[in-house]
Amino acid sequence: MVEAGPPGSLAGGKPAKGKILEFTALKGGGEFEPRLLTGNAEFDRACGGGLVPGSALLIGGDPGVGKSTLLLQIAAGLAKSGARTAYISGEEATAQIRLRAQRLGLSESPVALAAATALRDILSTLKADRPDAVIIDSIQTLWSDALPAAPGTVTQVRACSQELIRFAKGSGSVVMLVGHVTKDGQIAGPRVVEHMVDAVLYFESEQGRAFRLLRAVKNRFGAAHEIGVFEMTGAGLREVANPSELFLSEPGEPVPGAAVFAGIEGTRPVLVEIQALVSPSTLAAPRRAVVGWDSARLSMLLAVLDARCGLDFGRHDVFLNVAGGLRIAEPAADLAAAAALCSSLFDRALPKTTVVFGEVALSGAVRPVNQAEARLKEAQKLGFSGALAPAAGRSDALTIVNAETLADLIAWVRAQG
């Protein structure tokens, strides 16, 4: 009987010798192929400026959010620009995709269309044709005959993804994989797939709203958390070049409890309205409700306003909402949320021509935030004339009120008519 040897050795024999690696220096020449532009500026922005040849992307989103519609438009844009593009669907028949293309006015686009789920057949076809871009809708429908597991299982998803990514790296084709999501909003399947691909994009939408956000949560060739903004129409997804128009209220008289926050999503400045309602509570434990912001951040901000500024939020119900359905994660929204809360508490309407941003410390101090100049430039471009910001903020075109502490904010809010 022959005993098994250690890993890397022949059974019962001497260890097998591996191939010697050839190291190179970090500095060196080499020409990089230009990115493929899809003709969709918002999609290209989310990808970091276009599609990098040889890259693999994973795109997820809730059912019905418009993933297939978006990718069909992207495929048509690539094909029109001269890139050889293949769209392979494992969920729909080619007749269904043709109907969608006809509705979107894309029937004349030279996209190579196929319906298949067998990985061996797909790879054989791709290796023979060598398209510039491939869309697989979706990775959960593919199966490899080398594995006994059913399609959609962890084993199949991992193996099929690995083979397609290896094809992308070896051929220089861009491979875009559509992934299903769980009820928690995460892409279904093993998380190792997200580590293997070069970019992970989430297509998001708030229920009942027409706009869609394409958010890059991972990108090896661009900025993470970059967003592309779209609006769903009867003719497909329309690019929204100025997303601030979606998140700001209509012109009119200012009302108490509203403050305009100058935020940054990825590398893009976005203005959004934060709304607050503070009302006396009849409950032993006042209610706290927040939509679009971190509830723990709201609790911390209320505690700082109570402890450092002597405001009595402990006997009030507090409701906070980010208009338009956008979710804000950056700490720079602290000062705008505090401004909206104080505006509602004091029943003082803030001017609609002023933006607010800044991070609030537990001491009550207002800390500077990154990319302050970009925030102020976006406000100026949209017609704003003033800003309440940390002392580091500078602008020649806007009237800036520097807020070093929350006491400065409260004094500014009380001074409004």
* One-letter amino acid of 280: P
Measure CA 288 to chain center. Answer: 27
Instruction: State the 10-residue block means of pLDDT for the chain, 417 residues long.
Output: 52 74 80 87 94 96 91 96 96 95 95 96 96 95 94 93 96 95 79 94 82 92 90 90 80 88 90 95 93 95 95 94 89 96 96 94 95 92 92 75 94 90
- Which residues have CB under 8 Å from 117's CB, separation 6+? 90, 141, 142, 143, 151
Element (H, E) at 309: helix 295-309
Do residues 155 and 147 make contact, with C-beta atoms less than 8 angstroms apart? yes
Domain limits of the chain?
A: 41-241, 246-414
The pLDDT assigned to 247 comes to 82
318 vs 36: CA distance, rounded Å: 48
Q: Which two tokens stand for residue 254?
A: 């200012």
47, 48, 51, 57 alpha-carbon torsion, rounded to 10°: -40
Element (H, E) at 274: strand 268-280
| pLDDT at position 2 | 47
Which strands, in side-by-side order, build the sheet including 316-322? Answer: 288-291, 316-322, 268-280, 258-265, 354-356, 386-389, 399-402
**Bridge-partner residues for 57, per DSSP?**
176, 199
Q: Which of 177, 76, 68 is nearest to 119 (CA)?
A: 177
Residue 225 pLDDT: 86
Helix, strand and coil in the chain, % to nearest 5: 30, 25, 45
Sign of the dihedral defined by the CA atoms of residues 194, 200, 204, 210, in that order? negative
Look at residue 234 in the predicted model and tell me its pLDDT: 86
SS3 129: helix
- Please give the pLDDT value at position 4: 53
How distant is the alpha carbon of residue 36 from its chain centre?
A: 20
Q: CATH number of the domain at 41-241, please?
A: 3.40.50.300
Could you confirm whether domain 246-414 is CATH 1.20.140.10? no
pLDDT at 13: 61
Residue 205's pLDDT is 85
Q: Please report the pLDDT score of residue 3 as a whole number.
A: 52
